[in-house]
Chain A
Amino acid sequence: EIVLTQSPGTLSLSPGERATLSCRASQSVRSSSLAWYQQKPGQAPRLLIYAASSRATGIPDRFSGSGSGTDFTLTISSLEPEDFAVYYCQQYATLPRTFGQGTKVEIK
């Protein structure tokens, strides 16, 4: 099983600042089969990024993903008020399809 470790656990930032979220895998994620999701309280997750760096439909270009192998990053170039939420990474290269534990981006 691939274990995904996200850091930091909580990120305290102000609107307009840049957010950098990390997702580290316990073994290489084949074909960069990694996705990022955003979840707000009481809502279902929303797909932001798939294949490590491809933005999902309708996702603003301030969201970008990068990385390969075991190290992946989600960057939000300039935080908007609606971006404060919890973010999860997920690998879909192997079974079971594991998620990271999440990073909460909160308003400073």
Chain B
Amino acid sequence: EVQLVESGGGLVQPGGSLRLSCAASGFTFSDCWMTWVRQAPGKGLEWVANIKYDGTEKFYADSVKGRFTISRDNAKNSLYLQMDSLRAEDTAVYYCAKYAGGHDYWGQGTLVTISS
């Protein structure tokens, strides 16, 4: 059974940093592109970043470019999102998702709240 479990969310002050993790199981993680998608409270879905199966290619939404870094550790079947210089508008539930021509599996999400 495919499972994606996010962790690391919480309350952070503006300008602060947070590192999200996503633990993957039930599939060959090292074969798959992976994605972070976020959803602000009461709003729609926003693609944040994705990373190639071997970590050699990474792409970001303009809204997070230069502040967020996506990475992975295939030995640990884990995906990460390092978030720096956080802003109030980064407040959202962050989902990791497996990409296979469409995102076929999603985690349950982790809530990130940016507030003083």
- Please, how many angstroms separate the alpha-carbon atoms of A46 and B102 in the complex? 10
Give chain A residues whose Cβ lies under 8 Å from the Cβ of B47. Answer: 90, 96-99
B61 within 8 Å of A (CB atoms): yes
Give chain B residues whose Cβ lies under 8 Å from the Cβ of A95. Answer: 59
Known contacts: A50-B102, A56-B102. The answer to whether A99 contacts B44 by CB under 8 A is yes
Give chain A residues whose Cβ lies under 8 Å from the Cβ of B99. Answer: 92
Give chain A residues whose Cβ lies under 8 Å from the Cβ of B45. Answer: 37, 39, 45, 88, 90, 99, 102
Give chain A residues whose Cβ lies under 8 Å from the Cβ of B46. Answer: 99
A75 within 8 Å of B (CB atoms): no
- Please, how many angstroms separate the alpha-carbon atoms of A44 and B93 in the complex? 10
Q: Which residue of chain B has the shortest Cβ distance to A99 in the bound complex?
A: B45
B93-106 CB contact bits vs A (8 Å, 1 = yes)?
Answer: 00100011111111
A20 within 8 Å of B (CB atoms): no
Known contacts: A44-B109, A97-B35. The answer to whether A35 contacts B44 by CB under 8 A is no
Known contacts: A44-B107, A44-B109, A95-B59. The answer to whether A101 contacts B44 by CB under 8 A is yes
Interface size on A, as a range, is 20 to 34
Residues 56-115 of B at the A interface (beta carbon under 8 Å): 59, 61-62, 95, 99-109
A88 touches B102 (CB 8 A): no
B108 touches A44 (CB 8 A): yes
- Please, how many angstroms separate the alpha-carbon atoms of A39 and B43 in the complex? 12
Q: Which residue of chain A has the shortest Cβ distance to B61 in the bound complex?
A: A96
- Please, how many angstroms separate the alpha-carbon atoms of A100 and B44 in the complex? 8
A96 touches B44 (CB 8 A): no
Residues 26-79 of A at the B interface (beta carbon under 8 Å): 33, 35, 37, 39, 44-47, 49-51, 56-57
- Please, how many angstroms separate the alpha-carbon atoms of A50 and B46 in the complex? 18
Give chain B residues whose Cβ lies under 8 Å from the Cβ of A39. Answer: 45
List 12 A-B residue pairs with CB atoms under 8 Å apart, sorted by A's residue number.
A35-B103, A37-B103, A39-B45, A45-B45, A50-B100, A88-B44, A88-B45, A92-B99, A92-B101, A97-B47, A97-B50, A102-B44
Residues of B whose CB lies within 8 Å of any CB of A are 35, 37, 44-47, 50, 59, 61-62, 95, 99-109
